[in-house]
Amino acid sequence: MIPLYLAGMESLKSDDPLLYEEFHSGTWIVNKNATVPFCSIGADCALEQINRFMKVACGLVGITLNPADLTKNF
């Protein structure tokens, strides 16, 4: 599957120039630290980290079991 993926990515320049430019400009990544440029991660990984933070630090796990917690602002 890797050769097929690489061929598809290579053909983006001619098949979908707008998407190619988005990939090339780096707008599909999340930079976690503005001072360190190599700390960028994919948007899906960044979302998972936010989910983990909300579960651990904010008590999101089990919130639907307690009606009083449903109106809590985070």
Task: Please compute the mean of the pLDDT values over residues 57-70 and round it to a whole number.
Answer: 67
Give residue-wise pLDDT tens across range 10-44.
899 999 999 889 888 877 788 878 788 777 888 88
Domain ranges of the chain: 1-31, 32-74
Residue 69: HSE in the Cβ half-sphere, 13 Å Cα cutoff: 9
Give residue-wise pLDDT tens across range 48-60.
888 888 777 766 6
At 34, list the tokens. Answer: 């503005």
Q: Measured between alpha carbons, how far is 4 from 31 in angstroms, rounded to an integer?
A: 29
pTM (2 decimals)?
0.44
pLDDT score of 17: 92
Q: Measured between alpha carbons, how far is 22 from 19 in angstroms, rounded to an integer?
A: 5
pLDDT score of 47: 85
pLDDT score of 11: 93
Strands (E), 13-57: 29-31, 40-42
